[in-house]
């Protein structure tokens, strides 16, 4: 009887040890995954900040004007002429108006 009881206790001990090792290995694996995800999060936050500053620069009106004039060769028009059709009415119908010159 003592042999069977000792064998039973040994079996239970081995099963509990195996379960413990399994959960310990899972815990370590999850810790590595958490570390990797934190690194990716920091990288994405850094990229988000740099893209946000790029968007701010690109939305800056003086930068847009500088790019339009410098790279694209755009200029302000001298005059804007509005012509109304015979039966249609437009803003400024038939009158000539000039655009304000930029400063």
DSSP 87: S
pLDDT, tens digit (0-9, with 9 covering 90-100), for 20-72: 999 999 999 999 999 999 999 999 999 999 999 999 988 889 888 888 889 98
16 assigned to some structural domain: yes
Domain count for the chain, please give it.
1
102 assigned to some structural domain: no
The CA dihedral of 9, 15, 17, 19, to the nearest 10 degrees, is -150
Domain that holds residue 7: 2-97
pLDDT, tens digit (0-9, with 9 covering 90-100), for 63-96: 888 888 899 888 888 877 778 776 655 555 444 5
103 assigned to some structural domain: no
Buried b (16+ CB within 10 A) or exposed e, 56-72: eeeeeeeeeeeeeeeee
25 assigned to some structural domain: yes
53 assigned to some structural domain: yes
66 assigned to some structural domain: yes
């Amino acid at each position: 009887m003592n042999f069977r009881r000792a064998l039973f206790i040994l079996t239970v001990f081995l099963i509990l040890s195996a379960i413990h090792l399994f959960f310990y290995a899972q815990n370590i694996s999850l810790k590595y995954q958490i570390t990797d995800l934190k690194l990716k999060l920091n990288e994405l936050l850094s990229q988000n900040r740099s893209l946000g500053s790029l968007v701010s620069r690109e939305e800056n009106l003086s930068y847009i004007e500088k790019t339009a004039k410098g790279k694209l060769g755009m200029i302000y028009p001298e005059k804007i002429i509005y012509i109304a059709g015979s039966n249609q009415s437009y803003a400024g119908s038939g009158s000539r108006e000039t655009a304000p010159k930029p400063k």
